[in-house]
Amino acid sequence: MSDSIISVEHVFKAVTDSTGTLEILRDIDFALNARETAAIVGASGSGKSTLLSIIAGLDTPTGGTVRLAGQDLFALDEDARAALRARQVGFVFQSFQLLGNLTALENVMLPLELDGRKDARAAATEMLSRVGLSQRLNSYPKVLSGGEQQRVALARAFVVKPAVLLADEPTGSLDFATGEKIMELMFDLNREQGTTLVLVTHDRSIAARCDRRILIEAGRVVPEAVAA
C-alpha cells in the first residue's frame, strides 16, 4: 500500500449513547492509486458519508487509520491534519457550501488566499472560465442557479490542484440534465489534473463511470463489489 495516494487500513467507527453502541463502519480496508476514480455506494445509513469524512480526516475512526500520500492522518493533531487537507484535498458537497457574502470569484479565490497565493485572482478567474462561468465572476450565490453554484464549488475544489478530490453526492440536489453536465465537467477536470477522485453517490450510472466501485453494506465493504 506504500504507493497508494489513499490507504484506508482496517477502519472501524462506532458511536455510543444511552441506548448502547452503534457500529457504523467495520474493518474497512482498501487503497487507491493516484489518478484512480472510485465510487462509494450503498443504501442510506450504510456509512458512506462517515467513511468519506474519515478519509478527509474530518472525523476520527474508533480503530484503524487512513494514510494520505503516505502520511498517517491520525498520527497528526487537528491543526496538522487541517494543513495537510489544505495542501492535498479538495471537497465538493451536495449543498455546495459556498459563502453567501462572497462573489463566485471570491469563493474560488478563498483557498488560494488562505494558502498565501499571490496569483489568487488570476487563477480563480481562469478556473471559473474553465467551468463556463466567465460571465458570472461577480455574481453572489443567491442569484446563481443550482448548476452554476455547483460549478463554482467545482472551480473552488480544483483551483488548488488537489491530489485528492472528495465529493459527497455532488449531483444530489440537481436535476438530471444539470447533474449529467456537472459530472462530465468533474471527470474532465479530474483527467486534466490527474486527481484521485472519491465520490459518494446513489446514482448507478455515475458509479459505473468510475474505475472502482466500493459497496458498503451494514458498515462493511462487500468484497465482490470492489472491482478494478
The predicted-structure confidence for 91-117, as pLDDT tens digits, reads as follows 888 788 899 999 999 999 998 998 888
Strands 63-68 and 212-217: unpaired
DSSP 174: S
Mean pLDDT of 24-53: 92
Confidence band for 134, pLDDT divided at 50, 70 and 90:
very high
Confidence band for 223, pLDDT divided at 50, 70 and 90:
low
Q: Give the pLDDT confidence score for residue 174 in this predicted structure.
A: 84
Distance CA 154, CA 179 (A): 13
Domains (range + CATH), the chain: 34-60+82-225 (3.40.50.300)
Mean pLDDT of 112-128: 92
* Average model confidence (pLDDT) across the chain: 90
Q: Which of these, 206, 108, 210, lies nearest to 153 by C-alpha position?
A: 108
Q: Give the pLDDT confidence score for residue 226 in this predicted structure.
A: 44
The answer to whether 65 and 9 have CB atoms below 8 angstroms apart is: yes
122: pLDDT strictly greater than 80: yes
The answer to whether 92 and 154 have CB atoms below 8 angstroms apart is: yes
Q: Which residue has the higher pLDDT, 85 or 227?
A: 85
Q: Give the pLDDT confidence score for residue 228 in this predicted structure.
A: 42
Residue pLDDT, tens place only, 160-215: 899 999 999 888 888 888 888 888 888 988 888 999 999 999 888 899 999 999 99
Q: Which residue has the higher pLDDT, 122 or 177?
A: 122
Mean pLDDT of 8-13: 96
The answer to whether 171 and 179 have CB atoms below 8 angstroms apart is: yes
225: pLDDT strictly greater than 60: no
Q: Give the pLDDT confidence score for residue 115 in this predicted structure.
A: 83
Mean pLDDT of 213-221: 92
Distance CA 168, CA 145 (A): 19
Residue with cell 495516494: 5
DSSP 7: E
- pTM, two decimals, is 0.85
